[in-house]
Every structure is written in C-alpha cells, then in structure tokens.
Amino acid sequence: MSMAPQTAHPPLPAARAGATEPAAPITAEAEASARQARKKNRLVALAFLAPFLVAFLLFVVWPMLHGFYLSFTNQSLTGAGGNFIGGGNYAEAFSDPKVWGSIRNTVWFTIISTVPLVIIAMAMALLVNTGLPGQWLWRLSFFMPFLLASTVISQIWSWLLDPEIGLANEVLQTLGFEPVAWLQTPHLDLISITIATVWWTVGFNFLLYLAALQNIPEVQYEAAAVDGASRWRQIRSITIPQLMPVTGVVFVLQILASLKLFDQAYQMLGGVSSDTSRPIVQYIFEAGFVGYEFGYAAAISYVFFALIVVVGIVQMTIVNRRKGE
C-alpha cells in the first residue's frame, strides 16, 4: 500500500547523488521534486513508526520521567502523600541495609549464574557438535526448558528441592548424605535459585554457540589436522578463538538478564523474601506494592538504574578498546 511510492521513485539514492556529486547537472525542478519526495518519505516513515512511538512514549518515556519525579515525593500507592520531600528517599535508600543487601544478592546472582551459563552452554554445544548420534534429541532436550514459563520452572524446582519430599534430597540420602533445606537455608537459597535458572536458560546460549560452531569453516580443522594438531589443540586454537565474538554477546545478554532477576526468585520462595536471596527488583516491588511507598520504590529503582548505567559504560569501554586493537 503506502510502500508503493517508495519503490516506484527511489528518492534516497537521488538525493544522495545530489549531495555527493555537485558536478552533476541538477535542474531546480528536479531538486524541488526530490525535496518533496524526501518530505513525503519522512512522513511515511513517521506514520509507520507512530504506533511504536506512541507506545514508547506512553509506556517507557513517560513512566521514566514520572518515576523520577515520584522519587522526590512521599507518594503512597494509596494516593496519600505526594508532597515534594527533596532527596529524602535517596538518603533513606543509601542508609537502608535492605537496599544494599538486595543489590549485593543481585550482583552475586549475576556472577554465579553468568559463568556457568556461558561455560555449560559452550560445553554442551561442543559436545553436540562432535557429531553425537541423535543430534535432534540433544538439541531438543537442552533447549526445551527455555520454552517453559518462569512459573512452571519455579513449581518444578520448588518440588524437586523440597527438603522433605523432594527428589534432590532423596538422591542425597540414597548416596548417604544429610538432607538439605535448599530453599530455606540462608545463602543456599540463592544458589538453589541459580541452579534452577541455569537449567532453565542455558538452552538459549547453547543454541547461540551451536550456530556459531557450525559457522566455523571445516577447512581450518582440516588444515590443522594436516599439520598434526590434536583434537584438543584444535579446540583451543581454532574453536574457542572463533567463539569469542558470540561469547561477548552471550555475556552481555546474560548480565542484563541476571540483573533483572525476580520471577523465579519470587515464585520459588513463595513470595517470602529472605535477606540472603531477595533481589533488588523484588525489594523495589516490596517497597512499592507491599509497603505502598511509591516514592521510595522509585528512588531505589533510580539508584539501581544508575548502577546499570555504570555497568553499561564499563562494558562499552571494554568493547570499544577491543575494537581499537
């Protein structure tokens, strides 16, 4: 429909030609019509973007600005308050041990989940890529958990890890170990959530790695084999270096996903929050929706936002420096 004029009179190349090749003869009419086409083109583009832009403004930009404003008020979810209190919420957030404790939990979770999510995914992809029989079965079973909703995996794992009737303790006891209260013991709770998360999401990284592996040209291995390189040597000198770009992508995606930890932690612990497992996103939720302190919740989310921006800048500098090399 509205794509038709674009394909009929490609205005962009014409415009560009006018700009880069001043020597070409241009009549005034041609330039005017090009300008008109450009204008029309911009309007068409805007029309296409409009639905997204409206949603973006309404649900991203406006809440961000309004949230920032709220963080300086004592607004309550119940409509009470709403008066400007300056930096009071920020002062409270910086001195609230639960804020720092839950940021620590989130960061700790990010570290202990990202590393296995990269290493295990890579190992699984390497194994499957060696040409094991029944490739589709491996691919399917490694990727399948990723398709489940967070609610489903939370249910599965809270039953598996139940201290009394869970499979995990059944296995431990059969092997002669003491049973463990996985989700109810301080510090162990976050590790249990990490185990469930790794099982759940490792399939996505596995798929990225598998695709990357299949892109490595076979000739490189052949050349290495001719030179007498062992299998292990081939992996070290060909496969792993070639996987570096995708590893970078996986790391970035993983860190961002892990910092957002909430669903499975909230659900596996049945909404109970413990000081050793409460992620920062859950604390924001608790402050705003259980404690009704919207202003305070907004302030904490901006503190967290600032931290993520710092992480982003560090990441960008590293990536840019690497590109420079």
Partner 1 sequence: MITRRQLLGGVGALAGAGALAGCSPTGAPPGADTLQFWHLLSGGDGVTMQSLLDRINESQDDYFVRPTVLEWGTPYYTKLAMAGSGGRAPEAAIMHSSRVPGYVPGGLLDPWDTGRLAELGVSRDTFTGPMWNNSLVGDQLYSVPLDAHPFMMFSNREVLRQADVLEDGGFPAVSTPQDFVDVLREITAAAPEHGLSYGFIGDGAQMWRLFYTLYAQHGAEMSFPQGGSAQIDDEAAVESLRLMSQLVDGEIASSQGTIDAGIAEFSAGSSGLLFSGVWELPPMQDAGIDVNIEMIPPVFGQHAVYADSHAFVLPHQQDPDPEKREDTYAFVAELLKNSFDWAGAGHIPAYVPITEDPQYDELQPQANYAGAADHIVYDPKSWFTGSGANFQADFGQVVQDSIRGGDGFQEAVDGLRSMVDAILAEPNPVDPEGTWNP
247 interacts with partner 1 by CB under 8 A: no
Query: Which residues, in sequence order, are CB contacts of 101 under 8 Å at separation 6+?
Result: 275, 278
Residue type, 276: T
> H/E element holding 175?
none
> Shortest approach of partner 1 to residue 69 CB, angstroms?
16
101 interacts with partner 1 by CB under 8 A: no
Which of 25/270 has CB closer to partner 1?
270
HSE value, Cβ hemisphere, 13 Å, CA-based, for 82: 5
> H/E element holding 190?
helix 188-214
User: Binding marks (x or -) toward partner 1, 132..151, rule CB under 8 A?
Assistant: ----x---x------x----
271 interacts with partner 1 by CB under 8 A: yes
155 interacts with partner 1 by CB under 8 A: no
Query: Which residues, in sequence order, are CB contacts of 14 under 8 Å at separation 6+?
Result: 34, 37
241 interacts with partner 1 by CB under 8 A: no
- One of 120, 181, 216, 252 touching partner 1 (CB under 8 A): 181
> Shortest approach of partner 1 to residue 284 CB, angstroms?
13
Q: Are 208 and 249 in contact (CB under 8 A)?
A: yes
Q: Are 265 and 273 in contact (CB under 8 A)?
A: no
269 interacts with partner 1 by CB under 8 A: yes
Give the C-alpha separation, 191 to 108, whole Å: 10
> Shortest approach of partner 1 to residue 92 CB, angstroms?
9
> Shortest approach of partner 1 to residue 276 CB, angstroms?
9
Give the C-alpha separation, 62 to 55, whole Å: 10
Which of 10/134 has CB closer to partner 1?
134
Structure token digits, residue 177: 């170990």
Residues in the chain: 325
58 interacts with partner 1 by CB under 8 A: no
Which of 137/318 has CB closer to partner 1?
137
Which of 119/140 has CB closer to partner 1?
140
Query: How far from chain centre, in Å, is Cα 299?
Result: 22
Size of the site for partner 1 (CB under 8 A): 34
> Shortest approach of partner 1 to residue 80 CB, angstroms?
5
Nearest C-alpha neighbor of 142 from the set 209, 208, 206: 206
273 interacts with partner 1 by CB under 8 A: yes
Q: What single DSSP character describes residue 270?
A: T
Query: Which residues, in sequence order, are CB contacts of 269 under 8 Å at separation 6+?
Result: 183, 189, 193, 277
**Stretches 41-49, 63-71, 254-262, 284-292: which one binds partner 1 (CB under 8 A)?**
284-292
Give the C-alpha separation, 321 to 325, whole Å: 6
**Stretches 104-112, 240-248, 285-293, 305-313: which one binds partner 1 (CB under 8 A)?**
285-293
List binders of partner 1 among 192-221 (CB under 8 A).
Answer: none
46 interacts with partner 1 by CB under 8 A: no
> Shortest approach of partner 1 to residue 178 CB, angstroms?
10
- Phi-psi map region of 134: left, alpha, beta (phi>0 left; psi -120 to 50 alpha): left
- One of 10, 87, 134, 179 touching partner 1 (CB under 8 A): 179
| Contact residues: partner 1, CB under 8 A | 74, 76-81, 83, 136, 140, 147, 162-165, 179, 181, 183-184, 186, 189, 269-275, 286, 289-293
